[in-house]
Structure 1
Amino acid sequence: MRDRARALLIDLDGVLRRWDPAPIIAAEVKYGLKPASLLETAMSWDIYRPAMAGEITDAEWMRLVADRLPLPAEEAAAAVAEWQAYRGEVDPEALAFVREVRAAGRPVAIATNATDRLRGDLDTLGLTGEVDLVISSWELKAHKPAPEFFEKACLSIGHLPKHVLIVDDDDRVIRGARAAKLVGYRWTGPEHLPYLRKVLDLPE
């Protein structure tokens, strides 16, 4: 029988933090941008990857996004600033699960692809004291699903990969984690929390 997981790595965006699409839509409508153009521009691999890998700052990344928008420079910068002012919301059920895992004596780390803005966001969201550890791609200089990210994450949380459960909303991350011998679960919502409790051998 498979060993039970003894530690939890949980993703931030799409798991612990959820996003209301209204602010991005409002900014795009206000400045006459095509729907989804802000996010699509930001996720362009040639600028997204260095932002997540700690090669450029969040401010530099957002300047690159603004430079690519079909707007005068001042309007482009204003559109990006209005979009970025919203920092998301905590998913209450995911947070309750984190608290339950920690209460049972299992260490929990946020393990996320992020920029140097992450620590400030966690403070804003009230999440800084809710986990034992924050594992950031920007700080590691390696991003999910790179094998070195998972290796460093397991070393940081102090458990062998086979004893670490990672919960993430990205299929590529889960595949990469499983290849690195972690226990991977793709998050689609709280409906499978009973299963995750069993994986971590939490008390009934």
Structure 2
Amino acid sequence: MARERATALLVDFDGVLRRWDPAVAAEVEREYGLSSGVLGEIAESWGLLQPVLTGRVSHAEWVSSVADALTPSVGDPTRARAAVEQWQRYRGEVDPEVLAFIREVRAAGIRVGLGTNATDLLDADLAALDLTGELDVVVNSSVIGVHKPAKEYFQAACAALDTPPARVLFVDDEDRAISGARVAGLSAHRWSGPPDLRYLRAALAF
């Protein structure tokens, strides 16, 4: 049976609308004598990351926990804190093609939401990247207390978009999030880069 045509779009932030230059972390690691990739490994360890993505701790508290975990690698808590704070000052870059597509979709009368696992720094990041007002709704895991790929996350996102799941097209660069969205009844597309925009235009039929 054919799916209903999507009438709303839900887009992931990191890896889709926002890009990260890995050279930034690599430079901090070189400057502080750290092993390659250690900042990301510690920061993304689930025991530290899950509480900040569900709003149980603040972004600032998460940064402190990352610095604490990094201290044995640096040998000095002050230097560990400085390394993490220097790394965190970089807030990524907007993919201009994705932003242009979002504007095009909204101009066609289709609601667009940002669906992201994020911290309480998200609003500040959106402002710093000149994205405030570029989306109809922002669904932040740390605000609603549940993260992708949980079914409850996608239910909250569809409610925010005021659109039934079968009418929402979700775009993300992680397989687990795509699987979770499909379980929740959404259409979902695994993002691989701007060439995918041609498919998304066809799927939204505008």
Partner in structure 2 of residue 31 of structure 1:
32
SS of the equivalent of 2:133 reads helix
Partner in structure 1 of residue 139 of structure 2:
135
Q: Deviations over 1:27-83 (max 9, x none)?
A: 100111100000100011111111101110011111110001122110000000110
Partner in structure 1 of residue 148 of structure 2:
144
Partner in structure 1 of residue 79 of structure 2:
75
Partner in structure 2 of residue 93 of structure 1:
97
AA of the residue aligned to 1:148: E
Partner in structure 1 of residue 51 of structure 2:
50
Partner in structure 2 of residue 112 of structure 1:
116
AA of the residue aligned to 1:107: R
Partner in structure 1 of residue 66 of structure 2:
65
| Aligned-pair CA distance for 1:194 | 1.5
SS of the equivalent of 1:129 reads coil
Partner in structure 2 of residue 10 of structure 1:
11
- Provide TM-score, normalisation by structure 2: 0.97
Partner in structure 2 of residue 22 of structure 1:
23
CA distance in 1, matches of 2:69, 2:131: 33
| Aligned-pair CA distance for 1:2 | 2.1
| Aligned-pair CA distance for 1:129 | 1.2
Partner in structure 2 of residue 195 of structure 1:
199
Following superposition, which runs of at least 4 residues in structure 1 exceed 3 angstroms of deviation? Answer: none
Partner in structure 2 of residue 84 of structure 1:
88
CA distance in 1, matches of 2:49, 2:15: 17
CA distance in 2, matches of 1:156, 1:104: 19
Alignment identity in percent?
Answer: 53
List gaps (5 residues or longer) in structure 1. none
CA distance in 2, matches of 1:127, 1:109: 12
| Aligned-pair CA distance for 1:105 | 0.2
CA distance in 2, matches of 1:94, 1:181: 24
Identify the range of structure 1 (189-198 vs 159-168) with the bigger mean alpha-carbon deviation: 189-198
AA of the residue aligned to 2:22: P
> Cα RMSD over matched residues?
0.7
Q: Deviations over 1:133-165 (max 9, x none)?
A: 111000010000011000011011001000000
| Aligned-pair CA distance for 1:186 | 0.7
List gaps (5 residues or longer) in structure 2. none
AA of the residue aligned to 2:178: I
Partner in structure 2 of residue 168 of structure 1:
172
| Aligned-pair CA distance for 1:200 | 1.0
- How many aligned positions are there? 202
| Aligned-pair CA distance for 1:8 | 0.5
